[in-house]
Chains A and B, each alone.
Chain A
Amino acid sequence: MNGLRIILADPDPTGLPAAVWLLKLLLVFTFVLHLFFMNVVLGGGPVWLWANWRARRFAKSGVRGPQSEVMRGRTSDAGYRVEPSTSDLGPRTSDHEVLAHAIGRVLPVATAFAITTGVAPLLFTQLLYGQLFYTSSVLMAWPWLAVVGLLLAGYYANYGIFASRPGTLRAFSLGALSVLLFAAIGFLFTNNMTLMLRPELHAPLYLASDAGLHTNMADAWMWPRFAHMLVGSLAVTGLVVAWIPRIRRGFDPDSAGWVGRFGVRLFMAATLVEFLVGVAFFFALPRPVKDVFLGGRTPDALLVAAGAAFALAAVAIVRRSLLVGSCATIVALADMAVVRHRVRAVLLEPYFQPDSLPVVPQAAVFVLFALLLVAGLAIVTWMIWKFVTAAPARAEEPVAPV
């Protein structure tokens, strides 16, 4: 092999079916949607696990959490049967159990939508960056293919969580499994998404082995990027937890207050930790990216600053207004998705610019897609509205899929 060789696949001869800016916009927009649901799955698992640990029934002592919050009599509103208590306090549920139950109900739906919303950005990634993405995927073919199996197992684990009574050993084990599986999926995604940005590694790695067993673990910025995603997902999960008692009916007022406060606290703590991780991540970024974001290009530097500012604003205001805090967080998330896109663009600049790809517009079909998207969203909104405004399910009817 002669020196450092960079091999880059040729662009697809078919050309792009729309202007590059439109495809980039769709890529970033659908990624933000995915980010939200994916964060709930990734962050919901650890919160479920923790809540189950605090509400555990399998420990010898039988203590299910701090005494202060134990033992308010209530029946489960859905999802699992409340077993008769052996003590004289009657059926009861601790706050942690309520929290676990609330998250457990969200997890399968969030998983489904994390997958559904994930398909679109992956489609646009392949369209714009296929020349790099297919190569990095082949380099780590086996680990990358493992995502499918891990996802299948993790999804079923989340259904198992849904059907489990919080605090039981079964619930705890399924939670641990779900956390491990989804963290592994995130890890593999971070690997591939960073490896595809390193075309200079592709040829040496492939020519060393074509068995598809490479990863990008040796790349220094991969780890903080993964950590950034993990901690961020806890923050988003905190916000969602804070919303649950406001949206869903049938909560015991005391528990609802506790769950809401817990969600807000989790959001604030995770966001502050995210700042530290973010700084570490920033300094681990490859040189050219750091230079650009440190002020080499003003708009890019402003983007990073704006993201941090919105996140800080969200932390400052979330206690007074959950709505305003959530809106600020959504802006920060979208901003960070744009920053992520810019990092990609800056790193690839020396090798590849999507703007140079040939464009063969398919305007009519695009319009059809846009119309169907609007119609589809309208139908989904109608269904959800019908569901939310309908009378809640009969309390005694178990709806968990067992």
Chain B
Amino acid sequence: MNFPVWDVPLLGGSLLIAVIAILHVFVAHFAVGGGLFLVWTEARAYRTGDEPLLRYVRAHSRFFVLLVLVFGAVSGVGIWWIIALVSPSATSTLIHSFVWAWAIEWVFFFVEIAAAFVYYYGWERLDRRTHLAVGWIYFAAAWLSLFVINGILTFMLTPGRWLMSHTLADGFFNPTMIPSLVIRTAVAIALAGLYALLTASRRGAWWRAPETGGGDEALRRRVTRYAAGWLLVGAGVLPFAGAWYVSRIPDAARLLTVGGAPAVTIFAALSVMLSLLIVLITWFGPYRRPELANVLVASVLVVLGLGVTGVTEWVREAVRKPYVIYSYMYSNGILEADRAVVADRGILQTAKWVDVRAVAGNRAEAAAEVFRVECRSCHTIDGYNAVRPLLKGWSEPYIDYQLQRLNELKGYMPPFVGTDAERRALAIWLAEVGRRPALSAPPSQAGAVAAQTALRDEEVVR
């Protein structure tokens, strides 16, 4: 309402967020767990005088740096980019409320990147003690970075006492912060094992024994079993931490995962089933029979892991609906506190970036503006979360009835806020959308054309 809404046809802004965020999460947790894996395994190799294992850790660290430092860091910035484009109001709130938390996270990020470089380039240069110390610094900084971001992320679903006090501490140390931190740490450990299975399955240079030049199969099996152990330990924590987390989320959010919204329920079930599948494959495959593990098995596990990350993050985002910040801001950026004012004065009067200020002879244009401001942030016309298929066969009175009770009939949708005239115009417009064939133009493009003409006529004066 406060910022312009970006129209992303077919894909929808929320899908863009999901794609970038899921890929980032899948790598960022590895950045944390993988850091522990590296320094832990390195220390173990020194302790036991295991030179072959050390060769593997070095090779793994190369993969780690290329994936984490580049893709992990850039995709993290990417999330910031896309949320600011799709939900500028929510991004602004997160930045204003938590700017010093972000700044602290930035310090950890800075230390993390510097430590990663020194660790990676320091294999030959640094003595073992210092190298291990740098490895631990890396892991500590990475985990602390997770600690900070986790606090801000969980705030969005369970802002807790922040709603009253608006203080950073109340928002950060919110009801789900600790359970979520345990989950994410466990996921980080599991993903460390998952990615290690991938590098262990590749018979790279590390696998060749320098003395004989031949492949060291025993080493590969050892590393495979060891990596599988990491995955299983991390996964073992998840059911308990998950149950703890679910017990702390708002009732309405929990309801969505157990039937309140079919798609959310299916995805939540998928998350559990895919996780179980990963554990079973890892247990009976790489852990019990490491000799059978190969690139294919590891790749299947990685794809399944990405799948679990995807559906779980999607569910975590979905259960927050109808809010983007629970009980404070709706998914479309309208503040809970502004509801009464908007309902009274109308959305066209209170929204900033609209060209049509009232419903009069321009009903279609006005309705298109209402749709843009209130619905576009989640819905496309045709495409991801499209309205057209949902509206098929719905009459105007029925749509109008739905709009009046949107938040009651569909708990995951924000209420429609606006005047009766705006709502009726939207109902007529939506009914027309539903009647038209897929991919046809919205009922009126006249508004946009008129605006363009006006722009040409006036020519912006510098």
Query: Could you list which residues of chain A lie within 8 angstroms of chain B, going by C-beta atoms?
Result: 1, 3-4, 7-10, 12-18, 109, 112-113, 115-117, 119-120, 122-123, 126-127, 130, 134-135, 137-139, 141, 144-145, 147-148, 151-152, 155-156, 159, 200-204, 206-212, 220, 286, 360, 362, 365-366, 368-369, 372-373, 376, 379-380, 383-384, 386-387, 390-394, 397, 399, 401
Contact = CB atoms under 8 A, between A and B. Distances in A.
- Nearest first, the 10 A-B pairs at minimum CB distance are A134-B88, A14-B96, A365-B100, A148-B78, A393-B124, A376-B107, A1-B454, A207-B451, A390-B125, A210-B7
A14 B97 contact: yes
Contacts of B450: 1
* Interface hub of A109, A117, A202 (most chain B Cβ within 10 A): A109
B66 interface: yes
Given A119-B106, A123-B106, A401-B62, A204 B99 contact: no
Contacts of B74: 115, 148, 151-152, 155
Interface in B321-380: 335, 352-353, 355, 372
A393 B108 contact: no
* Interface hub of B73, B93, B120, B130 (most chain A Cβ within 10 A): B73
B43 interface: no
Nearest to B130: A386
Interface string B101-125: 1111011111101110110111111
A35 to B, nearest CB: 16
A211 B8 CA distance: 7
A156 B95 contact: no
B306 interface: no
A135 B2 CA distance: 10
Nearest to B137: A379
Contacts, number: 221
B92 A134 contact: yes
Given A130-B92, A151-B74, A286-B462, A394 B124 contact: yes
10 contacts: A135-B88, A144-B85, A200-B460, A208-B455, A369-B103, A369-B104, A380-B110, A386-B122, A390-B130, A397-B124
B458 interface: yes
A123 B88 contact: no
A386 B99 CA distance: 33
A114 to B, nearest CB: 11
A127 B125 contact: no
A12 B134 contact: no
Q: Is the interface of B mostly helix, strand, loop or mixed?
A: helix
B interface residue count range (under 10 / 10 to 19 / 20 to 34 / 35 or more) = 35 or more
A287 to B, nearest CB: 8
Contacts of A109: 117
A113 B113 contact: yes
Given A141-B85, A362-B100, A401-B66, A126 B95 contact: yes
Given A204-B458, A373-B107, A151 B77 contact: yes
B291 to A, nearest CB: 28
Given A126-B91, A376-B111, A1 B4 contact: no
A212 B6 contact: yes
A401 B167 CA distance: 45
A104 to B, nearest CB: 14
Contacts of A16: 96
B92 A126 contact: yes
Contacts of B108: 372, 376
Contacts of A126: 84, 91-92, 95
Given A14-B96, A159-B70, 16 more contacts: A9-B3, A116-B106, A116-B109, A119-B106, A120-B103, A123-B95, A123-B99, A134-B91, A138-B85, A141-B6, A151-B74, A204-B458, A211-B7, A286-B462, A387-B125, A390-B130
A178 B101 CA distance: 33
A204 B5 CA distance: 14
Nearest to A147: B81
Nearest to B74: A152
Given A1-B355, A152-B70, A127 B451 contact: no
A116 B141 CA distance: 14
Given A210-B5, A365-B168, A17 B100 contact: yes
Given A211-B7, A369-B100, A12 B109 contact: no
Contacts of B106: 116, 119-120, 123
Contacts of A212: 6-8, 85
B455 A1 contact: yes
Contact of A387 (B66, B69, B84, B126): B126
Nearest to A372: B107
B95 A127 contact: yes
Contacts of B169: 365
Contact of A14 (B93, B120, B123, B448): B93
Nearest to B70: A155
B461 interface: yes
Q: Is the interface of A mostly helix, strand, loop or mixed?
A: helix
Contacts of B82: 145, 148
Contact of B455 (A135, A204, A211): A204
B410 interface: no
Contacts of A365: 100-101, 104, 168-169
A77 to B, nearest CB: 12
Contacts of B3: 9, 134-135, 138
A206 B103 CA distance: 32
Contacts of B460: 4, 200-201, 204
B91 A386 contact: no
Contact of B103 (A7, A123, A134, A138): A123
Given A12-B96, A210-B4, A365-B100, A116 B127 contact: no
Nearest to A5: B355
Given A126-B92, A204-B458, A399-B124, A387 B4 contact: no
A134 B352 contact: no
Given A119-B77, A126-B84, A134-B91, A148 B20 contact: yes
Contacts of B270: none
A362 B78 CA distance: 28
Given A16-B96, A119-B109, A123-B95, A112 B73 contact: yes
A366 B100 contact: yes
B384 interface: no
B372 A210 contact: yes
B88 A138 contact: yes
Contacts of A380: 110-111, 114-115
Contacts of A147: 81
A116 B118 contact: no
A155 B76 CA distance: 14
A383 B134 contact: yes
Contact of A207 (B101, B118, B455): B455
B387 to A, nearest CB: 17
A112 B113 contact: yes
Interface in B407-462: 448, 450-452, 454-455, 458, 460-462
A151 B71 CA distance: 10
B65 interface: yes
B353 A203 contact: yes
* Interface hub of B99, B127, B130, B452 (most chain A Cβ within 10 A): B99
Contacts of B9: 211
A376 B107 CA distance: 6
B379 to A, nearest CB: 14
A109 B114 CA distance: 9
Contacts of A113: 113
